[in-house]
Amino acid sequence: MLSCRKEHKTILVQSTPDGPSVTVTINETQPGHAIPATFEGLSFETEILTANPNFLNANNAVLIQMIKNLGPGILRIGGGTSDEVYWSEDGHSATDSLTKPDIDRLTSFSTVIGWPVLFGLNLGINDGAVAANEAVYVRNSLGGNLYAFQSGNEPDVYNYGMRPPNYLYTDYQQDWESYLASVRNKVPQAPFAGPDVAYNSNWITLFAENENANIKLLDGHYYLTGPATDPSITWQTILTFNAKLAGYLQPIKAEAAKFNLPYRITESNNVYGGGKVGVSDVFAASLWALDAMWTVAENNGSGINFHDGVGLVYSPIVIQNDAASAGPEYYAMLAFKYAAADGTVIPANVDDPQFCSAYACVKADGTYVFTFINKDPVNRYSFKVQLNKSVSLMQVARLTAPSVTAKTGIVFANATVNADGTFEPNANEQYSVSGENFAVNVSAGSAAVVTVK
């Protein structure tokens, strides 16, 4: 048994004939932050508004249903093309120019799905007057559906071509403040977020220190590894224990708390450069995404937006000929939604995180929900849970696939996403339990959402 202080409870995994053991410690007496209703999100390139006008469209019934399955969220429009697509005030239509009808379609779509929009302005051209004109129209069209503006995408890598090689944070701050002044000259109450960096948490720290009074959200991007062309990256890469995300979040979390700001990972996925076939489009990506969402939640993040789009291997919602279907990460998003909705995080840790992760939250009615993730492709783990209160009912909804390399056959709660986008979880495993203990087996390469009442 793992030694622990009095205020901690311990989840024990007993040795079983079919797998190794793991020990998880939770702290029931010190719950963390409530998980925001809009925690989940999707991120799309600005270019999709011009190149695929039928996708983010109020008539795209399948996509709309799939997004509604996830509950409330935030839609982010940005990415690298937000610094390449130009605002066309006169309505000239081309794939490299954004027009008023493009914005109006976005408004109609966001209204139907009920998700506010985080909208990226083109800082690449560094023209505050154009950005202000665009912001006026976007604000007037979206109205209350505008969550915030962002100026520029991944400015910490502007020195690779968007700006001179010696472009520094101080240069970016000057550019950003110029845009802020231009936009607020025409839209005085325009909400802003930033700095939307690629990886440099130091830029986030500096930005928070300098601009905290001018923003409503602190944000950055996160990719586990890359580029996608790296031959050494395999599905094992994204399932191997890696503390990179937790380490990245620590300084952001501290700055957000210091200035009483929420923070969000506004663009994320597993392998940058569009994702990698056999890695980003298999069930391993589902287990990775579920782990990533919970890591952000445990670190008091307000949410995470998985990047999605045409030709992107890692897309949670796969786009083919403007039609939408569920990718592996979409099932992870469903699993998180059913576990985390209306929950408050309870700190949880495993003694050997090489393959297993454990997360917990408590609902308003006192119900506990645990998420156990087994990234070992061979061994099953058996969890024995000890609580400080008696429970009588346990329900288990599993996230499974034929193997961690499977591209099809992915199931959550005994159900799959239908062709029309609908999803209805089927009857979960249900057990009567007695006392303060219960046991759960988690098969190799799978996850389980466990509710105890």
**CATH number of the domain enclosing 373:** 2.60.40.1180
Helix axes 128-142, 100-113, angle to 10 degrees: 40
Q: What is the pLDDT of residue 132?
A: 98
End-of-domain residue from the set 313, 341, 369: 341
- State which amino acid sits at residue 333: M
Q: What is the mean pLDDT of residues 238-255?
A: 96
Are 330 and 348 members of one domain? no
- Determine if the peptide bond prior to 231 is cis (ω within 30°): no
For residue 19, pLDDT beyond 70: no
Distance CA 173, CA 158 (A): 13
Q: What is the pLDDT of residue 272?
A: 98
For residue 185, pLDDT beyond 70: yes
> What pLDDT band is residue 36 in, cutting at 50, 70 and 90?
very high
Are 186 and 257 members of one domain? yes
Q: What is the pLDDT of residue 440?
A: 87
Lowest mean pLDDT among 34-43, 98-107, 328-337, 426-435: 426-435
CATH of the domain at 312: 3.20.20.80
Q: What is the pLDDT of residue 436?
A: 78
For residue 310, pLDDT beyond 80: yes
> What pLDDT band is residue 386 in, cutting at 50, 70 and 90?
confident
Are 377 and 319 members of one domain? no
Q: What is the pLDDT of residue 391?
A: 84
Instruction: Scan for tokens 């915030």, then name that residue.
Output: 148
Instruction: Scan for tokens 């937000």, then name that residue.
Output: 82
Q: What is the mean pLDDT of residues 70-98?
A: 89
Are 402 and 428 members of one domain? yes
370 close to 377: Cβ distance less than 8 angstroms: no
Q: Is residue 91 part of a domain?
A: yes
End-of-domain residue from the set 305, 324, 341: 341
Distance CA 265, CA 293 (A): 10
Are 366 and 313 members of one domain? no
Q: What is the mean pLDDT of residues 204-217?
A: 98
Q: Is residue 233 part of a domain?
A: yes
For residue 111, pLDDT beyond 80: yes
For residue 12, pLDDT beyond 60: no
For residue 158, pLDDT beyond 70: yes
Q: Is residue 3 part of a domain?
A: no
Are 311 and 393 members of one domain? no
Q: Is residue 323 part of a domain?
A: yes
Q: How many domains does the chain have?
A: 2
Lowest mean pLDDT among 77-91, 112-126, 206-220, 431-445: 431-445
Are 380 and 317 members of one domain? no
Top-confidence residue, 202 or 2: 202
Q: What is the pLDDT of residue 93?
A: 63
393 close to 433: Cβ distance less than 8 angstroms: yes
Domain containing residue 424: 9-30+344-452
Q: What is the pLDDT of residue 31?
A: 81
452 close to 394: Cβ distance less than 8 angstroms: yes
Q: Is residue 2 part of a domain?
A: no
> What pLDDT band is residue 95 in, cutting at 50, 70 and 90?
low
Q: What is the mean pLDDT of the chain?
A: 92
Are 250 and 321 members of one domain? yes
Q: What is the mean pLDDT of residues 213-233?
A: 98
Strand 356-363 versus strand 368-374 pairing type: antiparallel
Q: Is residue 403 part of a domain?
A: yes
Are 61 and 182 members of one domain? yes
> Residue 321 is encoded by which pair of tokens?
């000929």
End-of-domain residue from the set 341, 363, 380: 341
Percent of the chain topping pLDDT 70: 95
Inter-CA distances, 313 with 335, 394, 432, Å:
21, 36, 42
Q: List b or e across 263-273, with b for residues whose CB sees 16 or more CB atoms inside 10 angstroms.
A: bbbbbbbbbbb
For the chain, report the end-to-end CA distance as a whole number of angstroms: 25
Q: What is the pLDDT of residue 264?
A: 98
Are 305 and 429 members of one domain? no
Distance of CA 66 to the CA centre of its chain: 16
Are 299 and 215 members of one domain? yes
Q: Is residue 106 part of a domain?
A: yes
> What pLDDT band is residue 24 in, cutting at 50, 70 and 90?
confident
For residue 309, pLDDT beyond 90: yes
> What pLDDT band is residue 140 in, cutting at 50, 70 and 90?
very high
For residue 113, pLDDT beyond 90: yes
Q: Is residue 234 part of a domain?
A: yes
Q: What is the pLDDT of residue 4?
A: 30
Q: What is the mean pLDDT of residues 186-212?
A: 98
Are 178 and 216 members of one domain? yes
Q: What is the pLDDT of residue 55?
A: 95
